[in-house]
Amino acid sequence: MLPRLGKKFDIPVEVVTKPREAYQSMAYADLGLPRAPAIMLGGEILVQGKDIAEQELEAMIRRNLAGPK
């Protein structure tokens, strides 16, 4: 889903996968990154610790790219 949405909105996508144990480690917690699974756009966390429907994610990307109102 993410690579396709990246192409659709012309934004770079980086997918990071690690074993569950790595995400639960103290070293990961010390990085200050969101709980997995997570999706970030720029420095903003769009969703963390849960799955998200593609339509909901697409709407979040559109709002984020539109900028502040």
Rounded CA-CA distance 9/49 in Å is: 24
Helix (H) or strand (E) holding 31: none
**Average pLDDT over every residue of 35-59:** 89
Rounded CA-CA distance 35/48 in Å is: 6
pLDDT digits (tens, 9 = 90+) for 4-35: 999 999 999 998 888 888 888 999 889 888 88
User: CA dihedral in degrees (42, 48, 54, 57; nearest 10)?
Assistant: -40
**Average pLDDT over every residue of 34-59:** 89
- Tokens 């998200």 correspond to 52
Please give the pLDDT value at position 32: 86
Please give the pLDDT value at position 10: 94
Rounded CA-CA distance 33/25 in Å is: 12
